Amino acid sequence: MSDLRPLVVVDRSLADMSDEVLCQRVADRDEAAFDQLVERYQGRAYRLAWSIVRDAEEARDVSQEAFIRLYQSAGSFGGRARFSTWFYRLLVNLCLDQRRKTRWWRQIFAGSDGAGRPGEDAGESLLDRQPAPATDPLEGMAKERETDRLWAAVGTLSPQQRAVVILQAQEELSTKEIATILKCSEATVRVHLHRALMTLRRTMGNE
């Protein structure tokens, strides 16, 4: 059980620092600052990665890779954008690359897209898993089924559309920030979001 012991002892003063300051310290090879950023972003990074790649193992791999890139290239964060925008851009690009790489064999092994139901993480034992966020407002079996349907519908979106929906819904980023992350225009982000929501609406039978 030793591997379940928290490895990170977070410095209280670091906990008060902004993401941008922590990133500057990571650029100076401050390991504690890096651990602090990982603590802050691990949940959102993993969730965002999972939402795009729809595979628990890949989400783990890609989100960890994003943190490694963060450690290696923290010096290139110019501070012009928010740290979160810069980091999400790194992460989303890795996710989209991952999708492109795995697309061909997913087609071969169609039927097992590795997504599974949320909470059914094939790569982990029951002991590894932690409870879903306590903020989940959906209760009861009917709502659980609706959630499953919604995630299945999200799974049918293109990776770009899915990324826009997740960044909008979960991170509540501005259109400008999402455009920066996806390297496209704000108009394109709005078109992606509109089409994605229309597709979801149709799939969920609301139309």
Measured from the CB atom, the residue of 73 and 79 that comes closer to another protein is: 73
Tokens 């799939």 belong to residue: 203
CA angle 20, 42, 40 (to 5 degrees): 40
The secondary element (H helix, E strand) that includes residue 145 is helix 140-155
Residues that bind another protein (CB under 8 A): 3-8, 35, 38, 42-43, 46-47, 50-51, 56, 59-60, 64-65, 67-68, 71-72, 116, 118-121, 124, 127-133, 135-138, 146-147, 150-151, 154, 165-166, 168-170, 174-175, 187, 190-191, 193-194, 197, 200-201, 204, 206
Measured from the CB atom, the residue of 18 and 132 that comes closer to another protein is: 132
Measured from the CB atom, the residue of 113 and 136 that comes closer to another protein is: 136
Tokens 């969920």 belong to residue: 204
Could you count the other beta carbons within 10 Å of the beta carbon of residue 196? 23
Could you count the other beta carbons within 10 Å of the beta carbon of residue 47? 17
Q: Give least dist CB 2 to another protein, A.
A: 10
Q: Which two tokens stand for residue 184?
A: 């496209």
Measured from the CB atom, the residue of 21 and 197 that comes closer to another protein is: 197
Q: Give least dist CB 204 to another protein, A.
A: 7
Handedness of CA 168, 173, 176, 181 (dihedral sign): negative
Measured from the CB atom, the residue of 79 and 156 that comes closer to another protein is: 156
Please name the amino acid found at residue 28. Answer: D
Q: Give least dist CB 132 to another protein, A.
A: 3
What are the angstrom distances between the C-alpha of 35 and each of 6, 156, 173?
11, 35, 24
Q: Give least dist CB 23 to another protein, A.
A: 16
Q: Give least dist CB 82 to another protein, A.
A: 17
